[in-house]
A and B are shown apart, each in its own frame.
Chain A
Amino acid sequence: DQQVKQNSPSLSVQEGRISILNCDYTNSMFDYFLWYKKYPAEGPTFLISISSIKDKNEDGRFTVFLNKSAKHLSLHIVPSQPGDSAVYFCAASFRSQGGSEKLVFGKGTKLTVNP
């Protein structure tokens, strides 16, 4: 059973517009969430994270929003650039539950930013 779901396999946006990538989770024990970005033939790279005590975290063009009651998080990229075209993975962990380092990943959303 998938605990972290990214229901949109792909997303296409125009350069300069906002990209919104969504992620849902089922396990309310998750307390730390991360977004990773992956280019072809490379490993995923960390992008941004948020702990469950916050509802927003911002880093430059990237903002992650967390809605715990809905078990939903989203990644906003503003403005989108062609170099943002990649697969984005949402991941969750039980950081405060015994210090587990395990990350549970979604299947990813392929973002294409058109010039």
Chain B
Amino acid sequence: DAGVIQSPRHEVTEMGQEVTLRCKPISGHNSLFWYRQTMMRGLELLIYFNNNVPIDDSGMPEDRFSAKMPNASFSTLKIQPSEPRDSAVYFCASSLLTGWSNEQFFGPGTRLTVL
């Protein structure tokens, strides 16, 4: 299995531009998570989906952020308009909820720089 795939790996954009991050979860997994990692706040959950349905978006910082999961094999996180404070590493993770296991499998991340 290829693992969780994220694209792009790096994104540099200017303030005000729209940014779209993409994620392909592990085949067969039924939950998908978007995280943001910064030095100040560490690794924080933005939103997660179960069976393509958004379950908890309480971590989404503001209306500029939106996420979709149109099918079981694809999700996007969009920032519009982007701001310099959005600069961070964004991770996507997927899991298959079974029994006690909460193990989430992370992608390599997208490093976003907003100038």
Contacts and interface: CB of A to CB of B under 8 A. Distances in A.
Nearest to A44: B106
Interface stretch (A10-18, A61-69, A76-84, A103-111): A103-111
Interface string A55-96: 000000000000000000000000000000000010001010
Nearest to B30: A101
A95 to B, nearest CB: 6
A95 B31 CA distance: 14
A67 to B, nearest CB: 19
A100 to B, nearest CB: 8
Q: Contact size class for A?
A: 20 to 34
Contacts of A102: 45, 48, 56
A34 B43 CA distance: 14
A49 B42 contact: no
A106 B91 contact: no
Contacts of B106: 36, 43-45
Contacts of A32: 100, 102
B43 A46 contact: no
A95 B102 contact: yes
A73 to B, nearest CB: 15
B56 A34 contact: no
Contact of A49 (B48, B50, B102, B109): B102
B42 A43 contact: no
Contacts of A106: 42
17 contacts: A34-B102, A34-B103, A36-B106, A42-B109, A43-B91, A44-B106, A45-B106, A46-B104, A49-B101, A49-B102, A51-B100, A95-B100, A95-B102, A99-B97, A101-B31, A103-B104, A105-B44
Interface of A: 32, 34, 36, 41-46, 49, 51, 89, 93, 95, 99, 101-108
